[in-house]
Amino acid sequence: MGRVTTQVSDAPVGSVISQSLEEGSENPARVNLVESSGNATVPNVLGDLKAEAFSHIRGAGLVVGTVTSVDDCIDPGRVGQQYPQGGARVLRGSAVNINVSICSDGLPG
């Protein structure tokens, strides 16, 4: 195996989009691969209010996936976790799942 690099592409993340044979004195020859890193970057929505997070996710060309309410009263109405993480490379149209804090004592969330 030779070098593996990534490149922005419409191909599924991690798929090989090109390859080349590197010939030399080494036995066996090396194969260099270029993998797709997707064509969109997931925004970091941690700490955003739920509506803001939705706006940022959609603005990046992604869709809001599963939204789970977590009863922790730490910061009601704000995103506490997300997957994939902010900065991850994905294909445009991929889903971003979030956990939003709520407080079952009646505070808005």
Spatial distance between the Cα atoms of 103 and 41, rounded to a whole number of angstroms = 31
Question: For residue 11, what are the domain limits?
Answer: 4-36
Q: How many CB atoms lie within 10 A of CB 85?
A: 11
Flag whether pLDDT at 107 surpasses 60: no
Asked whether residue 109 is domain-assigned, the answer is no
Asked whether residue 107 is domain-assigned, the answer is no
Q: What is the pLDDT of residues 7-57, one digit of tens each?
A: 888 888 888 988 888 776 666 778 889 998 889 999 999 999 999 999 999
Flag whether pLDDT at 4 surpasses 70: yes
Judgement on whether residues 48 and 27 belong to the same structural domain of the protein: no
Judgement on whether residues 44 and 97 belong to the same structural domain of the protein: yes
How many domains is the chain built from? 2
